[in-house]
Amino acid sequence: MVSRFRGIPGLDVREDVSLKALTRFALGGPARGLLDISTEEALTAGLARAAETGCRSALIGGGTNLIPADEGFPGLVLRYTANLIDADGSVVTVEAGALLQNLVDFTIAHGLKGLETMTGIPGWVGGAVYGNAGAYGHSIQERIERVRFFDGKQFREIGNSACEFQYRESIFKKRKEWIVVSVGLQLEPGEPEVLRQTAEDILKIRNQKYPPDMRCAGSIFKNLIFGGLSSEVQAQVPEKVIREGKVPSAFFLEQVGAKGMVNGGIRVADYHANLIYNSGKGTSRELREIVDTLKLRVKSTYGLELEEEVQYL
168 is catalytic: yes
Active-site position among 219, 267, 297, 308:
219
C-alpha span between 203 and 200 (Å, rounded): 5
137 in Cβ contact with 147 (< 8 Å): no
- Strands 73-80 and 57-60 turn out to be parallel
For the domain made up of 2-80, the CATH class stated in words is alpha beta
Cβ neighbours around 43 below 10 Å, total: 23
The pLDDT, as a whole number, for residue 117 is 95
Q: Which fold has domain 211-312?
A: 3.90.78
The pLDDT, as a whole number, for residue 86 is 98
Given CA atoms 88, 92, 94, 99 in this order, what sign does their dihedral have? Answer: positive
Cβ neighbours around 288 below 10 Å, total: 17
On the question of pLDDT at 131 being above 80, the answer is yes
Q: Tell me the whole-structure pTM to 2 decimals.
A: 0.93
Given CA atoms 224, 161, 77, 18 in this order, what sign does their dihedral have? Answer: negative
C-alpha span between 148 and 165 (Å, rounded): 15
10 in Cβ contact with 35 (< 8 Å): no
Q: Where are the domains of the chain?
A: 2-80, 85-194, 211-312
267 is catalytic: no
pLDDT digits (tens, 9 = 90+) for 30-51: 999 999 999 999 999 999 988 8
pLDDT digits (tens, 9 = 90+) for 135-164: 888 999 999 999 999 999 999 999 999 999
Active-site position among 143, 168, 206, 215:
168
309 is catalytic: yes
Q: Which fold has domain 85-194?
A: 3.30.465
